[in-house]
Copies of this chain bind each other. A is one copy, B any other.
Amino acid sequence: MTAATARAHPNIALVKYWGKRDLRLNLPAVPSLSVTLDRFETVTTVIRGTGQDRVVIDDAEAVGRARTRVLRILDLMDPARPPCHVISRNNFPAAAGLASSSSAFAALVLAADVAADQCRSPEQLSVLARRGSGSACRSLWGGFVEWSVGRLRDGSDSHGHPIADPGHWDLRIVVAVVSDARKPVGSTEGMIRTQETSPLFPAFVDQAPARVARARQAILDRDLAALGEEMERSTWEMHATMLTAWPTIRYQQPGTLACLDAVVALRGRGISAWATMDAGPNVKVLCAAADADEVAAALRPHAPRVEVLGIGRDPTVELHR
């Protein structure tokens, strides 16, 4: 019996991921760029050589698709593997408004790799994490990470690339949790419907490479207004494709717009605050560390919970001896 425990942080996309060019391999239609968050993490232990497979997430036995998704990644990583236990815990509630799948699959592949003494590179692990959840391929690094579309049919070149360390730039991400209700349409279903029915989807795809390039440069230059513009434009280009899908996919709720209005008002007062939204009603606001308290205060009247997060470090893993 061998076992390893990994810790990884979730990330949020600054230039957005929406749409798949290969559903089975989980290859993206667009490149994307993210920032890894601090404070929140998934801690996952993989124990090899147990009596049977078990998957426990946040102290509950995983069943159905949640279990299958995890075991499928273990099978991919070691087709001849013995039965395993996977014990995963998030230190942040689903109610925090952040998808845990990015940190979850990053921690899973790291722990499974070390438990099996396979010693893959972060890039190889990123490819495997991608198979579990697209955005997870960006959680193999801290700081700012780019996910390239890749050119190869097998997807082996579609993985994360670190572009700046966590210490490069002292930003904050203020998360306004408008609602923690379940998504009306899941991400994969939403992406498929969007690609199949939105006549605006190709234009979103066309824009993405230039948005990533400009956002990358803005990060290297520590130019928050430039990064904010790329992030907001990418965000609306993504949501525009959902709104023009049929039936319409709209993740914005009334409270979402109240938060966006608050961000516009902050900028009107000279505070460089920039909003993004993912497949849900919550609003994430990027700002300088010095402005985070004021940004959080402006959002609190419109959201039941507000979380202020910094930039997270690389994931870690330890082998239990």
Contacts and interface: CB of A to CB of B under 8 A. Distances in A.
A268 to B, nearest CB: 11
Interface of A: 199-200, 202-204, 206-207, 229, 232-233, 236-237, 239-241, 243-244, 246, 248, 250, 252-258, 260-261
A109 to B, nearest CB: 35
A229 B246 contact: yes
B239 A243 contact: yes
Contacts of A253: 257, 261
Task: Report the copy number of this chain in the oligomer.
Answer: 2
16 contacts: A199-B207, A199-B237, A200-B204, A200-B240, A202-B203, A229-B246, A232-B248, A233-B246, A233-B248, A236-B244, A236-B248, A240-B240, A240-B241, A250-B260, A252-B257, A254-B258
A91 to B, nearest CB: 32
A203 B246 CA distance: 16
A203 B207 contact: no
Nearest to A248: B236
Nearest to A241: B240
Contact of A237 (B200, B232, B237, B252): B200
Contacts of A256: 257
Sort A-B residue pairs by CB-CB distance and give the 6 closest, nearest first: A254-B254, A240-B240, A236-B243, A200-B203, A200-B200, A254-B257
A257 B260 CA distance: 13
A243 B241 CA distance: 11
A244 B254 contact: no
Contact of A203 (B199, B248, B261): B199
A190 B254 CA distance: 23
Contacts of A243: 236, 239-240, 243
Contacts of A250: 257, 260
Contact of A244 (B202, B237, B252): B237
Nearest to A239: B243
B248 A244 contact: no
A254 B256 CA distance: 8
Contacts of A248: 232-233, 236
